[in-house]
Amino acid sequence: MIIEAAVAAILALGATEWRNGGDYVHHFSVDGSPFVSTVTRRLGAVNGVLYDANGHPRDLDGAAPHAPQCASVEPPAALPADPVTAAARRRTVAPERAVIDVMELYTFAAENGAGGRAQIEVKIAAAVDLLNATLQQSQVNNVSFRLVYVGRIDREETLSQMQFLTWLSNDAGVARLREEHGADLVGLWTEADAEIAWAPRSFARSTGFHVICRRYPLSLQLFSHEVAHNLGAQHNVEQTGPVANDPYPFARGIRTANWMTVMSYPPAGEWREVLPVFSNPELSHDGVALGVAGQADNARMIRLAGPVVAEYYPSAD
């Protein structure tokens, strides 16, 4: 299937979702564009990404360009793990939508850098909405994300990104908030540079954490990238190399001379445009497959892990 067909499927579901207080997310497609544009309103502020007729993105907040440098980390071996169950595999074949609840926290520095509460919170909400659009464009139809809590946390930015990830994963106050809101995944938005997440090969509540810098453009899909690490998605093989005894060798991104999928990296010193798509060999863009069966199929990984992660804290509804 070409990517335009996946876009049409999104738009057929309805363009605007209205939320409390006049907030909304609006999906639409510019004439001729291969990708869906996403605009989110929260607390009176607006953010999102527009894709023009050629598929090139524009960030509504004018965020400055950034060369990504993600650190995906294998969780400590001592963490208890949940296997990918037969039930999860059945849901991948015959999908029923698994809703993954996310809690996103931000520092005072990030709030101040964004220009206030409304600006940082609309960017976070827009990142979740963009992730959901990207999943549907990738034909991941059995998983969606729901923002169940967003708020500031009293944490000075005095740590490295690895220290931030470790702190977030072990702080008692964060754990209480997570329990209160039933959040399957937890993120922290900082003002300082940060792109890091646990990237498990087996799944447990303790692996559901990520950290991201609020200054990075939404169009780079770095929030989607870090969250997908929490679901086992990995970088392209050129960036990380093969992994011995990997239970999910297909969970890789893909790149060409012109573009790369969400989980991919360009060669050192070069750049590729980021497509708002997870690698999927069943899709194509400009006549080129967006994945390789058995080798580069992060959409398959997310379909498989999504129902497991969504059960970290089962939703009442």
Helix (H) or strand (E) holding 194: none
pLDDT for res 89:
41
Long-range contact set of residues 114-119: C-beta below 8 Å, sequence gap at least 24: 114/214, 117/43, 117/152, 118/42, 118/43, 118/44, 118/45, 119/45, 119/47, 119/61
Distances (CA, A) of 317 to 99, 101, 269, 313, 314: 10, 12, 47, 12, 9
Minimum mean pLDDT range among 53-67, 73-87, 249-263 = 73-87
Q: Strand 37-42 and strand 45-51: pairing?
A: antiparallel
Contact 124, 146 (CB under 8 A): no
Tokens of 192: 């300082």
Can you give the pLDDT at residue 175?
A: 98
Give 71's strand partners.
196
Least confident of 82-86, 88-92, 291-295: 88-92
pLDDT for 8 equals 57
Least confident piece of the model among 31-40, 142-151, 183-192, 235-244: 235-244
In the numeric block, which tokens belong to residue 38?
């996403």
In this model, does residue 97 exceed pLDDT 90? Answer: no
pLDDT, residue 77, reads 62
Among 183, 268, 279, 188, smallest CA distance to 226 is for 188
What pLDDT is stored for residue 113 in this prediction? 97
Task: Return the closest-CA partner of residue 35 out of 142, 167, 164, 134.
Answer: 134
Instruction: Name the DSSP letter for residue 26.
Output: E
Phi (first) and psi of residue 174, to 5 degrees? -65, -40
Using CA atoms, how far apart are residues 16 and 23, in angstroms rounded to an integer? 10
What is the mean predicted confidence (pLDDT) over 253-279?
94
Does pLDDT of 98 surpass 90?
Answer: yes
Model confidence at 272, in pLDDT bands (50, 70, 90)?
A: very high
Whether the predicted pLDDT of 12 surpasses 60: no
Give the rounded percent of residues in the chain with a pLDDT score beyond 90.
75
In the three-class reduction of DSSP (H, G, I as helix; E, B as strand; rest coil), residue 73 is classed as: strand
Residues 114-161: pLDDT tens digits? 999 999 999 999 999 999 999 999 999 999 999 999 999 999 999 999
Q: What is the pLDDT of residue 4?
A: 58
Task: Map tokens 């890091």 to a residue.
Answer: 196
What integer best gives the mean pLDDT of the chain?
A: 89
Instruction: Check whether 315 has a pLDDT greater than 80.
Output: no
